[in-house]
Amino acid sequence: MGGAVSAGEDNDELIDNLKEAQYIRTELVEQAFRAIDRADYYLEEFKDNAYKDLAWKHGNIHLSAPCIYSEVMEALDLQPGLSFLNLGSGTGYLSTMVGLILGPFGVNHGVELHADVIDYAKQKLDFFIRSSESFDKFEFCEPSFVVGNCLDISLDSTPYDRVYCGAGVQKEHEDYMKSLLKVGGILVMPLEEKLTKITRTGTSSWETKKILAVSFAPLIQPSKTDSGKSKTVHLPPSNVRSLQDLARIIIRGTLKKIINYEAAIKCGNGLKNPPRFKRRRIRRRRMETIVFLDKEVFASRIPNPFDDNNNCEEAEEERREEEERSLPELKPDPPINYLREKILSLPLPDPLKYYLLYYREK
């Protein structure tokens, strides 16, 4: 699946194309997509294809096309503090984007059939947390992954606010998928060759909307053990955060508010350089007159007393443009991580500072 939008030169251009084609329609979803470089989830030898609107598969590793992930993210209608379950969580790319929106008090769980893919997802998650320039712009709900078949989830599991299944669901499993959802929750899954959004409006009432035609590999049926039963999948517990963890969240949030306040004051005092706009060049046309006399046409130019002045202005404008082109192109300054600087300036022992920074390298 994919190919709905043009390929991008980089992640931002891919997102621009998805926005232009109306696959990305909300600011929250756009911010999450821009924060995570899709190429980081590709193996090195396949990164040339990362910004194409195409699915990618290598062994057990799989990524859906960007246009599919865009529609899924928009359909889920994610909000901070919700619980999310990703069935067939794969590389963790989608779960990580979701975690940026859920925030620190959300729940973010994934079930993946292949243990090697979970290892891959954990590596990519660790890389994002430790090295992404976007991490400090968000308060993150870190995903947790478990190995197993998503059709074997324990019946006593707590239902979720949002559920996504990344494999084709057979009609016979539709009710099972619905049972994983809270009242008021949203389930998005490929059902009968259509990406489908199901909203649970009551204990036994539902609203169904077909989003677009898709082609997904079907869910793999559970394998039986020697006892003739399949292995039950127990989802991660929704643990209460430690006091230490809560303190880190509150301190980081407070520092961000201080940084935003200080930035607002600087802008208000006119310290921020106003943007420079290139002057638009105006071409002045010479006036012509056409005289119809009987059946003959006479054309002549009416002299304009301002022609000489116009010529001087155009020459001056061309000279300025030539000077602008001859100036060396200045590289933009690297972005400053004000939160990191603020934390490192606190009168705290270094171990506490690095804890507040999630032990990030930059």
DSSP-based three-state secondary structure for 57: strand
What's the sign of the alpha-carbon dihedral 124, 129, 130, 131?
positive
Write out pLDDT tens, residues 148-160. Answer: 999 999 988 999 9
Cβ(161)–Cβ(82) under 8 Å? yes
pLDDT confidence of residue 208: 97
Q: Which segment of 87-91, 228-232, 268-272 scores lowest on mean pLDDT? A: 268-272
Return the pLDDT at 100.
Answer: 97
Kindly report, residue by residue over 182-238, the tens digit of the pLDDT. 999 999 999 999 999 999 999 999 999 999 999 999 999 988 765 667 789 999 887
pLDDT tens digits along 44-87: 999 999 999 999 999 999 999 999 999 999 999 999 999 999 99
Contact between 44 and 62 under an 8 Å Cβ cutoff? The reply is: no
Task: Report all structural domains of the chain as residue ranges with CATH numbers, in order of start.
Answer: 66-223+230-239 (3.40.50.150), 241-267+337-361 (no CATH)
Is the pLDDT at 271 greater than 50? The verdict is: no
Alpha-carbon distance of 2 to 93, in angstroms, equals 17
Query: Do 218 and 170 meet the contact criterion of CB atoms below 8 Å apart?
Result: yes
Q: Please name every residue paired with 2 in a beta bridge, in sequence order, or none if there are none.
A: 54
Under the banding of pLDDT at 50, 70 and 90, the label for residue 173 is very high
Res. 300: pLDDT tops 90: no
Pick the residue with more confidence: 266 or 4? Answer: 266
Residues annotated as catalytic (active site), given as ranges: 64
pLDDT averaged over the chain? 86
For position 269, what pLDDT does the model report? 58
Amino acid (1-letter code) at residue 254: T
CA-CA distance, 76 to 112, in Å (whole number)? 20
Distance separating alpha carbons of residues 152 and 156, to the nearest angstrom: 12
Which H, E and C letters describe 308-333, residue by residue? HHHHHHHHHHHHHHHHHHHCCCCCCC
